Amino acid sequence: MIELKGVTRRFGEAVAVDNIDLTIETGEVCVLVGSSGCGKSTTLRMINRLLPRTSGQILVDGEDINKADPEALRLNMGYAIQSTGLFPHWTVARNIGVVPTLLKWPAQKRDERVTELLALLGLDPETDARKYPHQLSGGQAQRVGVARALAGDPNILLMDEPFGALDAITRESLQQEMLRIQRQLNKTTVFVTHDIDEALKLASRIAVMDQGRIIQHDTPEAILRRPASAFVENLIGKGDRGLKLLALRTVSGLMERHPEPRHPEPVTDSLNESDSLRIALSLMLWNNTEKLPVLDASGAEVGIVNREQLLKVGA
Amino acid sequence: MPSSTGLPNRVIPVLALAAFVLVWLLNLGVVQPNRIVAGTGYGLFDATGWFGAGTVSSLLLVVVVLATKPIRNRFWVLSFLLTAALMSLPLLLEVFALRKLPADSAYARIGIGAGFWCLAFFLALMLLETLSQLKASRRVQLSVVLLVAAGWWLCAAREGLSSLSLIREYANRADQFSQALTVHLSLSLGAVAISAVLAFGLALAMVRRERLRRPLLGLVSFMQTIPSLALFGLLIAPLGALSAAFPALQALGIRGIGWAPALLALIAYSLLPMVRNTYVALMEVPEAVVDAGRGMGMSERQVFLQVKLPVALPVIIEGVRITTIQAIGLTAVAALIGAGGFGTFIFQGLGQAAMDLVLLGALPTVCLALAADAILSALKFQETPR
């Protein structure tokens, strides 16, 4: 658990972070979202003491972080940044092994960990491990950056716009990976982004920041349904928040489940259990149909989603 | 499908034709009655007769044909041919000596003419072009250089070339030559080593304290602007006075002339490229890389030793390379204030109007600079991530 109590950071006269209170529960993904210069990166960098705070308290699991040795503190916090910051003179494997090396893990344990992480992030442990960062594509480099952040098996992950510089398709696939990894590892994560869609997709709770203050701190659904101010309303986009709300839920929660999985009829389109309701609605519009079958991973039909029910979700 | 190596090469024929014209137009060699009197020049045909002139001409024509025709492996053949030609080039001078050197005169000697130098130069250029067409590895390039050097070494040791003026000058000064080599190397490399340590400290100070940057860079730039001869001269008086005042310094060999002022001046000149490169290298380590290092829990010391320094190293080595080449050249000038080294031969030769003695000083200086360049380039290449 990370607690920020009355934390302020000034740069000279300017106030970057203004007396904020924020509690991040263990295992949740807290996304700090806001336009550039709103203080979200400054907040993140105060948590691992890359920046000292001007006043207030930051506690990790009840302990004030200023009491710990800053290096020891950071070794227990994975850190991934937008420009990856991969060491250009080291191979991918050595880059990922940085924190285990700093923690003085035995070589064999470290190498196993590197291989495990390469596989987890969808990289090839054989060929990619020996590459140098400049031989990677942007998406691969960012995967290595995330793998490096996870390498020391930290309790906390700090991510500063890690996917900000990637193209839309690569970003989308890395977001999916993040969700998958997070389900598997349950790290307490602080994630900074300016992209509200990314925030809605990844967050357990979102903290909307503006001019150094936290405007609203709540679950994605609550933020969409009850924006605290005109600023938040603008940020989420008034027009399509109904669709964004649908995007938060998967069809598996809404479908009418069959008592027994059955063999699917050969229809034009069907849904997967993990698809969002937004996709379900889109497919219904496209096929002009009231109902769509839902298939599980093995391809068996496990239920039906119908439009009537789906349209009630937004209300 | 025609590969790039199948296309006619334009560079090599042009070089070969230029070599062909020049070697026929210019004097291949000179016969001097003694070491000072200007001698009589001989063209390719006069100097080496049908055999020599024919061999050289046909070699160049074969090269032209090979370079333009799409023959398989022609660049391998060419590199082999050109290496062999370069290796055995001094044999031309041997033939020349055999034919034209008066047998009765003990002082007569042969000098190398412009035609010979041109031929050697153009052959080397053609060899470079073939090697780059072959995308030869550093190892192959190095072996070719060593082969050519070995060829010249073997030729120079032959009895037939003992009448070559350059070799006579060397034979008269074999002891001085090895001493000059030692002095030249220790002066230039010593200066580079000392200024590398100083420059590293200065650059670090500049990185830590931005305030120091302008005055320090200004100072080392200013030292670079003093003409080298003037700096060597300017140091004579203060060092002489110091040495007179402190006998202990005198015992160390520190006097107004000799190695001490030379070393000081060389260090002063080496500082600018070294400080500038080290400073720029350290400053240009991407901020994100340093931030990531710190953010993952490296201490400042680990960030410096494991991240900043290795990332900066290729540019730092580049500074050392430039400095070393410059110092080797400048050391030749330091002979003027009695520091020794190959410059001694150059200034003696100039004084005696004996050009081959000048060459005896100049050629090894150039070779040392080239060798330093090759070694440090290879080191830099090694340290650059690929």
The span from the CA of A141 to the CA of A128, in Å, is 10
pLDDT at A140: 92
Among B140, B171, B202, the domain-final residue is B171
Closest partner residue to A88 (CB to CB) among B295, B298, B311 is B311
Among A240, A269, A301, the domain-final residue is A240
Q: Residue A93 contacts by C-beta under 8 Å, 6 or more apart in sequence?
A: A111, A114, A118, A129, A130
- Conformation bin of residue A123: beta by default, left when phi > 0, alpha when psi is -120 to 50: beta
CB atoms A75 and B296 under 8 Å:
yes
Question: From chain B, which residues contact A within 8 Å (Cβ)?
Answer: 286, 288-299, 302, 306-307, 310-311, 383, 385-386
Are A265 and A235 found together in one domain? Answer: no
Among A218, A240, A262, the domain-final residue is A240
CB atoms B289 and A134 under 8 Å:
no
Are A24 and A96 found together in one domain? Answer: yes
* β-sheet bridge partners, residue A15: A10
| Lowest-confidence pick of A93-102, A160-169, B237-246, B274-283 | B237-246
**A148 contacts in chain B (CB < 8 Å):** 296
Mean pLDDT of A158-168: 90
Number of domains chain A is built from: 2
Are B256 and B356 found together in one domain? Answer: yes
Are A199 and A56 found together in one domain? Answer: yes
Min Cα distance A270 → chain B (Å) is 44
Min Cα distance B266 → chain A (Å) is 33
In chain B, which residues have pLDDT < 50? 1-3
Are A57 and A202 found together in one domain? Answer: yes
Q: What's the mean pLDDT when you consider all of chain A?
A: 90
pLDDT at B111: 86
CATH of the domain at A49: 3.40.50.300
pLDDT above 60 (res A122): yes
Closest partner residue to A87 (CB to CB) among B289, B295, B297 is B289
**A74 contacts in chain B (CB < 8 Å):** 294-297
CATH of the domain at B329: 1.10.3720.10
Structural domain span for residue B355: 174-383
Are B222 and B127 found together in one domain? Answer: no
Q: Residue A190 contacts by C-beta under 8 Å, 6 or more apart in sequence?
A: A2, A24, A30, A32, A44, A47, A156, A157, A158, A159
CB atoms A148 and B289 under 8 Å:
no
Mean pLDDT of A150-174: 90
pLDDT at A270: 85
Are A209 and A308 found together in one domain? Answer: no
Closest partner residue to B385 (CB to CB) among A81, A98, A134 is A134
Are B215 and B351 found together in one domain? Answer: yes
Are A146 and A215 found together in one domain? Answer: yes
Q: Which residue has the higher pLDDT, B354 or A103?
A: A103
Query: Which of A73, A98, A135 to probe the B interface (max B CBs under 10 A)?
Result: A98
Are A210 and A259 found together in one domain? Answer: no
pLDDT at B126: 93
pLDDT at A287: 87
State which residue of chain B sits closest to A75, comparing Cα positions: B297
Q: Which residue has the higher pLDDT, B267 or A314?
A: B267
The span from the CA of A228 to the CA of A209, in Å, is 12
Min Cα distance B61 → chain A (Å) is 45
Question: From chain A, which residues contact B within 8 Å (Cβ)?
Answer: 48, 50, 71-75, 78-79, 81-89, 98-99, 102, 132, 134, 145, 148-149, 152, 158
Structural domain span for residue A277: 251-312
- The answer to whether the beta carbons of residues A130 and A121 sit under 8 Å apart is no
CATH of the domain at A273: 3.10.580.10
State which residue of chain A sits closest to B384, comparing Cα positions: A89
**A82 contacts in chain B (CB < 8 Å):** 288
pLDDT digits (tens, 9 = 90+) for A262-301: 888 776 688 888 888 888 999 999 888 888 888 888 888 8
Closest partner residue to A102 (CB to CB) among B291, B298, B386 is B298
The span from the CA of A149 to the CA of A142, in Å, is 10
Closest partner residue to B288 (CB to CB) among A85, A98, A99 is A85
The span from the CA of A166 to the CA of A181, in Å, is 19
- A245, part of any domain: no
pLDDT above 60 (res A315): no
The span from the CA of B264 to the CA of A60, in Å, is 58
The CB density around residue A308, as the number of other CB atoms within 10 Å, is 9
Are B258 and B379 found together in one domain? Answer: yes
Residue of B303, B224, B294 lying closest to B265 (CA atoms): B224
Are A127 and A62 found together in one domain? Answer: yes
In this prediction, the answer to ipTM > 0.95 reads no
At B251, the amino acid letter reads A
Query: Which of A73, A84, A89 to probe the B interface (max B CBs under 10 A)?
Result: A89
- The answer to whether the beta carbons of residues A209 and A16 sit under 8 Å apart is no
Cα separations in angstroms, B274 against B34, B211, B366, B375? 46, 19, 21, 17
